[in-house]
A and B are shown apart, each in its own frame.
Chain A
Amino acid sequence: MNLAEALTVVVPLLRDELVVHANGFISRESFNLNDRPGNFYMIGSMGLASSIALGVALNRPDRRVVIFDGDGNVLMNLGSLALISATQPANLVHIVFDNEVYGSTGNQRTISAQVALEEIARASGYQRVQRVDTAAALRSAAQEFLTNPGPSFLLIKIEPDREERKIGRITHEPPQIAARFTAAIRTEG
């Protein structure tokens, strides 16, 4: 399973969830697969997708907030796992696509092959933690995580893409992404 295949499993399960995307191919693949107003694409500020999502989740406990994160992003902001655990937002689902590389910059390795990120989440205090590496296990875990209280942490082990994906960048301007996402938050779910 690569990133595109994993997204093809998860994205059709989404209903009115607000989804904050990490930068790089996670944003780009998801944007090209199914652009939706409830998607926030973070094009810069690597590491902060989980912080942005937490800011939404704490202030809108009536809405489910999902993070599409990457291993490089999680490693850059491990403190966020601690703060999510300390604040315990039941409406937050943290999904990490872990390909063990920095995909956008040429597949340089991260350290997630040596460090089990989901164990850090478990030790921090996420309510629900699982690691999956097949499409079938992913479908079943994602269904469970998207319908039960969290905070939850789903680590998906995926293969890096060996050839660079010829996939477009986000075509919306950043203020437009923010305005559209803000409107989607205001819309009752």
Chain B
Amino acid sequence: MITGADFLRLLLESGFDFFTGVPCSLVKSLIATLEERGGYIPETREDAAVGLAAGAYMAGKQPVVIMQNSGLGVCLNALASLSRIYHLPCLLLTTWRGYQGKDAPEHLIMGDISPTLLETLGVPHRVLSAATVQDSLRWAGETLKQSNQPVALLLPPGVLQ
């Protein structure tokens, strides 16, 4: 397990410097750390967060959009008809509810299809584990810069404290 504070430090070290999103209990500690630090923008919807990130990117920032995977459904069109076609990258830090089919009923279908959905959308992604956070963030930062496209990190339960 990694703490929210350590996770944020690694995000900042990887060059990410603008944070918005819609919360999930799996990233509670990260959002608490961001709120303490200041500058976190609590969005009202995940697609609006993708729009906000697009604007931040054009203003020179490296944005992170934090969301539950339920929010992936909300922001499909924003990713397809804004981020992807205009080449406006962001890191989608997406929690993985419904992981391995063990969760409340509302999470099971989205949990089952989350990786496939990202593949269909053409969004490269990796699954986070406590041991590989640093590597995954480095990969995300490099992939964003090379492709000018959004990338996603799926965060299963039990990784972030």
Contacts from A to B (Cβ < 8 Å): 20, 40, 42-45, 47-60, 77, 79-80, 82-83, 87, 174-175, 177-178, 181-182, 185-186
Contacts and interface: CB of A to CB of B under 8 A. Distances in A.
Interface of B: 18, 41, 43-45, 47-61, 63, 77-78, 80-82, 85-88, 148
Given A174-B86, A175-B86, A181-B58, A51 B81 contact: no
23 contacts: A44-B77, A44-B80, A48-B47, A51-B48, A51-B52, A51-B55, A52-B55, A52-B58, A52-B82, A55-B18, A55-B51, A55-B55, A55-B57, A56-B56, A58-B41, A58-B59, A59-B55, A79-B48, A82-B44, A174-B85, A174-B87, A177-B86, A181-B58
B64 to A, nearest CB: 13
Nearest to A178: B86
Contacts of B78: 45, 48
A185 B59 CA distance: 6
A58 to B, nearest CB: 7
B86 to A, nearest CB: 4
Contacts of A82: 44
Contacts of B63: 55
Contacts of A45: 47, 51, 77-78, 81-82
